[in-house]
Chains A and B, each alone.
Chain A
Amino acid sequence: GAGVSQSPSNKVTEKGKDVELRCDPISGHTALYWYRQSLGQGLEFLIYFQGNSAPDKSGLPSDRFSAERTGGSVSTLTIQRTQQEDSAVYLCASSPGGASGEETQYFGPGTRLLVL
């Protein structure tokens, strides 16, 4: 079946502009995660959605970052007033979650963001 998909695959923007990154999780997965992969910091957790619960935003690096998940499916990560240090690959993952106890996270191909 279809895996996690992300769009766009690449995004180049100017410092100070806002960007939106999209994630389509695997159908039926209730848990969705955003991570960031950068040269200096490696792979870092950003935010986690589980069903209708309040998201865990503990990994968001600043208030310029926000994310939402509409209808328990698609998620959008928004970065406002982008800075050069936001340049990274943004990865989305999903897992079955819930009562299944299946914790394996399946990753999307990522969005490569470059802030000039």
Chain B
Amino acid sequence: AQRVTQPEKLLSVFKGAPVELKCNYSYSGSPELFWYVQYSRQRLQLLLRHISRESIKGFTADLNKGETSFHLKKPFAQEEDSAMYYCALLEYGNKLVFGAGTILRVKS
């Protein structure tokens, strides 16, 4: 079965520190991966998708097929980055398979 693993339930960093949210996946085909974010009292929203190769709000994520990883990174965390982050894999049939999520807390 396809799986998405986010090993950290909570990641706490100081403002200005680098951030890396880990995501590993298992998938038999060519994966399409996403990062979704949910800020406090807001709906789940797309942060970025690997095929776009964009940087959104300073975040980037590179697909590493050898390590089956899609870690989310930002060089300098900001307080407004505090949120729940979900890594997701698009399964055959357009279903998103989500990881358990990581809460990012950025302290001042």
- Give the residues in chain B near A42, CB-CB below 8 Å: 98-101
The A/B interface has a contact count, at CB < 8 Å, of 49
Q: Let me know if B43 and A108 touch, CB within 8 A.
A: yes
Q: How many of chain B's residues have a CB under 8 angstroms from any CB in A? A: 20
A109 to B101, CA, bound (A): 18
- Contact string against A for B residues 39-52, beta-carbon threshold 8 Å, 1 for contact and 0 otherwise: 00001111001000
Interface residues of A: mostly helix, strand, loop or mixed? strand
Cα A104 to Cα B86 in complex, Å, equals: 14
Contacting residues, chain A, for B86 (C-beta < 8 A): 43
For B43, list chain A residues within 8 Å (CB).
Answer: 3, 107-110
The answer to whether B11 has its CB under 8 Å from any CB of chain A is: no
How far, in whole Å, are A42 and B36 apart by their CA atoms in the complex? 14
A66-83: contact bitstring with B at CB < 8 Å (1 yes, 0 no)? 000000000000000000
